[in-house]
Amino acid sequence: FALYFLALEKLKDIYALNRGLEYNLQRKNFEKIKEALGAMIDQKLTSATTAESLKAKLIELNRPSLKTILFKMFDEYSVHWKDLYPPKRPFTLINARDRLFHRSEKINPGDLIKETHRLKFIVERLILKMLGWDDLSHAPYKGWHGFLQKARE
């Protein structure tokens, strides 16, 4: 899962860089907002340590979300993902990544196996589309759709 997600993140980074999508706002404009938010944090919190910890994260607000960039990239390259999930299920790869790497939560091994395969197929589809390949009939291979679309029991 980790290596496939790293590949997806690198493709996303290159895509964002090439399209000028690294920031939500120009740095000069964002600095004003960051200063205002920092002042509000200082005003509302009594713990200087907590205030500094929150203010250190403010810079991240100017970075577009991973989901935003991924979905722009998927749209541009016509990469579909809904067929890899049970009907009406949302895109869950980012949540799985967050649970594994950012929140240190346990994840059901069966769910992780499914997420790994979904991620693999999405990365394959994206790379093939970036290379101009339109036949994605083998990503995923036959037989995987039933497994991936089956809801957890």
The CA-atom distances, in angstroms, between 43 and each of 9, 33, 40, 53, 118 are 37, 15, 5, 14, 45
**Contact call for residues 93 and 67 (beta carbons, < 8 A):** no
Is pTM, for the whole model, over 0.85?
Answer: no
> How far apart (Å, rounded) are the C-alpha atoms in residues 97 and 133?
28
Query: Mind listing the pLDDT tens digit for each residue in 29-72?
Result: 999 999 999 999 999 988 989 999 999 999 999 999 999 999 99
Q: How confident is the model at residue 153, as a pLDDT?
A: 43
Task: Identify the band that residue 73 occupies on the pLDDT scale cut at 50, 70 and 90.
Answer: very high
* Residue of higher predicted confidence among 131 and 142: 131
Query: Mind listing the pLDDT tens digit for each residue in 75-96?
Result: 999 999 998 988 889 999 999 9
Q: Tokens 């200063």 sit at which residue?
A: 35
